[in-house]
Structure 1
Amino acid sequence: MNLHDWIDELSDVLDVDTELDEALILDLARAAAHNVARPAAPITTFLLGFAAGSQDADPDAVEALAAKAQALADGWDRPANAPDPDDINDPVPDDSVVDHTGDVFDDESAADDGDAGDDRED
């Protein structure tokens, strides 16, 4: 059974006849789960459905309600001027290795090849 079958069967069981934009609902649930807390996902989508039902909302009105909820979730628990965490460039770690002679290699394999670059006699 796939998601579309589940939605059809659940709609029949709940006696619901409505258009459903799965992507809209899933995007909202994802935003709530990631930006608020995991349990916020089902609560948020339930409340969206409740609001849409109580307002007898058409698909455009549901989309507008979802946009409001999405904006709230996207900005949750961050200062107004904080950058979007998805837009932050994390520093790239330095993978170079310095061997016992002080030589710098680009990766660990070059430093592990025995006496490479060490022609000193002990």
Structure 2
Amino acid sequence: MTDPSDLEGWARKLSEALDLGDFEPDIALILDLARDAAHGVARPAAPLTTFLVGYAAGRAGGSADDIAALSRTASALAVGDTAP
């Protein structure tokens, strides 16, 4: 099992390398989204889904609320719900 601090450290390191400033991703939200895509669609859908949600969130403004709303939409679609 992955230690949460490993993911937090990786997120900080990658965010710095990508010049994202002080952005702190909601790791649990991202992992839940990836899980829903992997189990509801197919395993390869997990990285594709998280990338597309991130891209859409960036286009929408990139706020935490944008990310959460788009993640709910994608998760609902992945698990077969019609409304997030």
Query: For this structure pair, what is the TM-score category when the shorter chain's length is used for normalisation?
Result: 0.7 to 0.9
1:24 partner letter: L
Structure 2 unaligned runs (5+)?
none
Q: After TM superposition, give the deviation of residue 42 of structure 1 in Å.
A: 0.2
Kindly indicate whether structure 1 or structure 2 has the higher relative contact order, using CA contacts under 8 Å at least 6 residues apart.
2
CA distance in structure 1 between the partners assigned to 2:65 and 2:58 by the alignment: 13
Q: After TM superposition, give the deviation of residue 57 of structure 1 in Å.
A: 2.8
CA distance in structure 2 between the partners assigned to 1:19 and 1:52 by the alignment: 14
TM-score scaled by length of structure 1: 0.59
TM-score scaled by length of structure 2: 0.83
CA distance in structure 2 between the partners assigned to 1:11 and 1:60 by the alignment: 19
CA distance in structure 2 between the partners assigned to 1:53 and 1:73 by the alignment: 21
CA distance in structure 2 between the partners assigned to 1:12 and 1:57 by the alignment: 17
Corresponding residue for 1:26?
Answer: 31
Corresponding residue for 1:6?
Answer: 10
Identity %: 55
Structure 1 runs (4+) greater than 3 angstroms displaced = none
Aligned 8 A contact 1:30 1:41 in 2: yes
Q: After TM superposition, give the deviation of residue 19 of structure 1 in Å.
A: 2.9
* Alignment RMSD (CA, Å): 1.7
Q: 1:16 aligns with which of 17, 20, 30?
A: 20
Q: Does 1:57 align with 2:62?
A: yes
Aligned 8 A contact 2:53 2:71 in 1: yes
Corresponding residue for 2:74?
Answer: 69
Structure 1 unaligned runs (5+)?
81-122
* Structure (1 or 2) with the larger CA radius of gyration: 1
Q: How many residues align?
A: 77
